[in-house]
Amino acid sequence: MKIFKITVLLMCFAAQAFGQIEKGARDDNGRHVIPRGFVVNTNDAMGELFYTKDDYLRMVRMGANYQVIRLELGKVSGFTGCTVDSEYLQKLDTLVELGKEHGMKTVFKMTVYGVKGFSWEEFWENRNDEHLTYIDAWKNIWERYQDQVAVKGYDLVNEPRKESMDISYEDLTNDYLVPLYQKIIDEGQKFNADKLMYCQAIFMNKGDAVNHNQYAEITAAINRENVVFTPHIYQNKKEWIKPTMLRFEQEAALQKGPMLVGEWGFPTFQTTDSSAHEQRNYMDFYIHTVNMFDSLGVGSIKAWFSGNRKMQNFLPGGPSTWAIFSDPNGVGTVERKYITDIIARPYPQAIAGSIRSFGFDFATRTLAVKITSDNQKGPSHIFVGANRHYPDGFSVRLGDELTLIQNPLHNTGLEVVKNENNWEVDGFIWDEVQQQLIVLDWPLDHTDLELRIEPGVTR
């Protein structure tokens, strides 16, 4: 057995104050899950992207337990000039299977890429039964994956837009977007009512924003089961992150379900890779962003898990990209560590029971988690990321009663340092490959516990 330093303390978090997590995602066993992962693109501006088992292991070792696969409407629909591409569907099968093999759930997200001359105005007005054609495209996906438990759900319309329509964002949302969501969900639930339906708000026109974030408010309830509000946030001003996220939290409450940040992270400029000053700036507002996510207990999906084949040039700062790797390949390996070290911060992935609060302090490299245990729901998984955050080893503390250490100089796994109540510790396992702490059973069941993971192996 591999052993690591855990000291479980019943204590208050002095360094940070975390809000109570009101709503959270649950898996099929009822464990409280924090979804975290990447947008997986099937293509970019240079052509198709292909992924290997090594790529998926890299995702896992960055803390991913979810992937969001970006679908191309042009390859799964009957819109003008489009056909359903069987090879593309087989490629999706491969991505789902790779995720499943690495313990990851899949969400499919529909984009309108690949449909030449797509008009949002015509789409909203349904002039030529566009809604039916769009739903038929989804049916190709729903039917294929209705019995695949690794597929968690479907992000129904990616970044829906107003463009040149003479209509307010509120009217577009209430009169067009919400009714469309209802129509799509009603059809989708005929295939599998347990799948989650992820719903976004309107992506606002250039120059329009709410709290400097380019997504309109969704002010109407969709009134359907299993809806997850899925906003995007691309924000580089710290002062606007909190008000934006608190607004999103209210919009999620309107849908009576959890929230998943479907995409996040301001793009990085070409100049940032060679500027220590710019990298520190990025780290500053990225850390501010993820601390807000974690304080609310929401999951988050980072764009993109890809290399740097081509930059975009739509921002005043010059060429930019969302790619997290800097090498010029479709899927790279050279991390932009000023981004990836923040994405790959420690967190509770799946907890048997309920997560009451959690947060990672980047300054002290300390993860603090409050839970209520429920061992009947299965093993708990905590992503540690020791390879990047704890090269000096780490300690885990559970109350004052138990302390375990993981010393990288000893090839012995987890070592017990303190066990005042003689608890059974065989259920504490360090998975070096996936960089996870696994707890098969909490020493105390149906009890409030506080867990800390800290750097070093001081006895």
Crossing angle for the helix pair 130-145 and 86-101, to the nearest 10 degrees: 50
Band (360; pLDDT cuts 50, 70, 90) = very high
Task: Indicate the DSSP class of residue 42.
Answer: S
Whether the predicted pLDDT of 69 surpasses 70: yes
Instruction: With cut-offs at 50, 70 and 90, classify the pLDDT of residue 21.
Output: low
For the domain spanning 353-455, the CATH number is 2.60.40.1180
35-345 and 353-455, same CATH topology: no
Mean pLDDT of 57-71: 98
> Is the pLDDT confidence value at 453 over 70?
yes
CA–CA separation, 352 vs 289, rounded Å? 27
Does the structure show a pLDDT above 90 at 373? yes
- Model confidence pLDDT, tens digit, residues 125-134: 999 999 999 9
Which helix (H) or strand (E) segment is 367 a member of?
strand 366-373
Mean pLDDT in residue range 138-153: 98
For position 10, what pLDDT does the model report?
31
* Entry pTM: 0.94
Residue 7 has pLDDT above 50, yes or no: no
Q: Which is more confidently placed, 24 or 67?
A: 67
Q: What is the mean pLDDT of residues 144-149?
A: 97
pLDDT at 22: 62
Q: Is the pLDDT of residue 16 over 70?
A: no
Average pLDDT over residues 247-274: 95
Strand partners, 299: 260
pLDDT, one tens digit per residue, over 327-352 is: 999 999 999 999 999 999 999 999 99
C-alpha 67/C-alpha 96 separation (Å) is 9
* Residue 238: pLDDT band with limits 50, 70, 90: very high
DSSP-assigned letter for residue 203: B
SS (H, E, C) 246-305: HHHHHHHHHCCCCEEEEEECCCEEHHHHHCHHHHHHHHHHHHHHHHHHHHHCCEEEECCC
Residues 6 or more apart in contact with residue 279 via CB below 8 angstroms: 272, 338
Closest by alpha carbon to 323, among 308, 337, 312, 301? 308
As a CATH number, domain 35-345 is: 3.20.20.80
In eight-state DSSP terms, residue 205 is P
What average pLDDT does the segment 113-140 reach? 97
Provide the pLDDT for residue 2.
Answer: 36
Domain boundaries, the chain: 35-345, 353-455
Asked if the model's pLDDT at residue 459 lies above 80, the reply is no
pLDDT, tens digit, for every residue of 386-423?
Answer: 999 999 999 999 999 999 999 999 988 899 999 999 99
pLDDT at 3 over 80: no
End-to-end CA distance of the chain: 20
